[in-house]
C-alpha cells in the first residue's frame, strides 16, 4: 500500500518537482535580494545567510537519505537503493560545499578571514571530506558491483555514526583552546519577521532544488546501471 503510493508519487516527479523548484527558487532570489531588509550591522553581506543556512539543512537531509538508503542496501541487497544513496550523497556534498563556500564569502567581510578553525567550520569540512570519499569509493567500482555497493553502504553508515564523535571532539579541541577574537560577535539576535519569512521561502526553494537534483542523480545512476546490464547482455550474445 505505502510502497505503491510512493511509487505513484515517484512517477509524478517530472511534473511536480521542477515547477515547484522554479517558483520557490525565484521567490527565494527575489526575497533575499529585494524584500528582506539589509542587516543593521553587516549590511547586504548578511543576505548570503538565505543561501548558506538552507544549504546546510538540505545537506543534512541528503546525508540522512544516504544513511537510510545504505541500511536498505545492506538489508535487502537492492541495488536501486545504492543509486538513491549515491544520488543523495552527491547532492549532500554539493550543498555542503556550497555552505562552506558561502560561509567563506561571508566570513571575509564580517570576520576578516575566509576560514578559521572554528569547531563548526572544521566539523563541516570533515563531513564534506567523508562523503566526498564515499562518492570516490563508489565511483571506483562498477555500477553493478554488488560488493562495492555493500562496501560503500558500510562506509556511509560508519560515516554517519562518526559525525557525533567528530562534532564532539572538534568542539572539545577548540574550546580548550583560546578562541579567536573575531568569532565573538557571532551571537546574533533573533531574526525579525521579514527576514524569517524570506529564510523560510529560501529553505523551501533550496529543499525543492535538493530533491530535484537528488532525483535527477538517482535516475542517472539507475540508467547507468541499466546501460551496464544491457552492455553485458550484448557482450554475452556477441561472444556466443
Interface contacts to other proteins, rule CB under 8 A: 74, 126, 129-130, 133-134, 136-137, 140-141, 146-148, 150-151, 154-155, 157-159, 161-162, 165-166, 168-170, 172-173
CB 151, min distance to other proteins, A = 4
Nearer to other proteins, 130 or 209 (CB): 130
Nearer to other proteins, 126 or 224 (CB): 126
Nearer to other proteins, 77 or 192 (CB): 77
CB 140, min distance to other proteins, A = 5
CB 9, min distance to other proteins, A = 30
Q: Around Cβ 226, how many Cβ atoms within 10 Å?
A: 12
User: Given the C-alpha cell 543523495, which residue does it identify?
Assistant: 88
Q: How far apart are CA 121 and CA 199, in angstroms?
A: 21
Nearer to other proteins, 52 or 138 (CB): 138
CB 233, min distance to other proteins, A = 22
Residue 43: strand pairing partners: 39
Nearer to other proteins, 4 or 147 (CB): 147
Which residues touch 124 (CB under 8 Å, ≥6 apart)?
56, 96, 99, 100, 103
CB 32, min distance to other proteins, A = 32
| CB contact at 8 A, 191 and 32 | no
Q: What is the DSSP string of 49-90?
A: HHHHHHHHHHHHHHHHHHHHHHHHHHHH--HHHHHHHHHHHH
Helix, strand and coil content of the chain, in percent to the nearest 5, comes to: 85, 0, 15
Amino acid at each position: 500500500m505505502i510502497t505503491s503510493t510512493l511509487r505513484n508519487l515517484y512517477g509524478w516527479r517530472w511534473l511536480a518537482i521542477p515547477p515547484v523548484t522554479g517558483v520557490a527558487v525565484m521567490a527565494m532570489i527575489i526575497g533575499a535580494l529585494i524584500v528582506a531588509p539589509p542587516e543593521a550591522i553587516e549590511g547586504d553581506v548578511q543576505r548570503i545567510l538565505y543561501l548558506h543556512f538552507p544549504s546546510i539543512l538540505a545537506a543534512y537531509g541528503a546525508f540522512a537519505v544516504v544513511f537510510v538508503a545504505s541500511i536498505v542496501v545492506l538489508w535487502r541487497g537492492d541495488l536501486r537503493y545504492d543509486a538513491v544513496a549515491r544520488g543523495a550523497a552527491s547532492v549532500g556534498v554539493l550543498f555542503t560545499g556550497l555552505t562552506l563556500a558561502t560561509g567563506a564569502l561571508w566570513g571575509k567581510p564580517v570576520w576578516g578571514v575566509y576560514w578559521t578553525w572554528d569547531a563548526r567550520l572544521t566539523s563541516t569540512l570533515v563531513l564534506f571530506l567523508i562523503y566526498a570519499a564515499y562518492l570516490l569509493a563508489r565511483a571506483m567500482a562498477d555500477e553493478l558491483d554488488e560488493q562495492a555497493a555493500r562496501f560503500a553502504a558500510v562506509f556511509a553508515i560508519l560515516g554517519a555514526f562518526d559525525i557525533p564523535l567528530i562534532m564532539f571532539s572538534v568542539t572539545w579541541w577548540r574550546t580548550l583552546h583560546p578562541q579567536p577574537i573575531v568569532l565573538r560577535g557571532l551571537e546574533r539576535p533573533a531574526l525579525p519577521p521579514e527576514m524569517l519569512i524570506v529564510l523560510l521561502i529560501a529553505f523551501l526553494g533550496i529543499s525543492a532544488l535538493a530533491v530535484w537534483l537528488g532525483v535527477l542523480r538517482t535516475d542517472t545512476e539507475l540508467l547507468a546501471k541499466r546501460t551496464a546490464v544491457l552492455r553485458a547482455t550484448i557482450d554475452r550474445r556477441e561472444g556466443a
